[in-house]
Homo-oligomer: A and B are copies of this chain.
Amino acid sequence: MARVVVDVMLKPEILDPQGQAIAGACSRLGFDGIAQVRQGKRFEIEVEGEVDEARLADVRRLAETLLANTVIEDFEVRVES
C-alpha cells in the first residue's frame, strides 16, 4: 500500500477570498509579518500495490477529472514515503 498526495491550489491569478479572510484574521489576532495566505485542498490517496509510472499517470488523470477544476486550479501529484 502506498500513499499518493495530490495538492490542489487556486491558480496564482485567481482571487482567493478565503485566504484573504485568513490573512485579515491573522493581523487582527496579532500574528504579524504575514504577507499572504492561500487556501487549497490536499488529498491523501491510498493506492493498492506498487506505485509505478502508469499508476502515477492514472492518479494524474484522476486529479484532472475529479479532484481539480483545471480552469481555475493547479494540482501537483507526489508519492509520499
* Chain A residues proximal to chain B, CB less than 8 Å: 1, 7-9, 19, 22, 25-26, 29, 31, 33-49, 55, 58, 61-62, 65-67
A39 to B39, CA, bound (A): 13
Q: Is the CB of A47 within 8 A of B35?
A: yes
Q: Is the CB of A44 within 8 A of B37?
A: yes
CB-CB under 8 A from A44, the residues of chain B are: 9, 37-38, 40
Q: Is the CB of B35 within 8 A of A39?
A: no
CB-CB under 8 A from A65, the residues of chain B are: 29
A9 to B67, CA, bound (A): 16
Most B Cβ at <10 Å: residue of A42, A46, A47, A49: A42
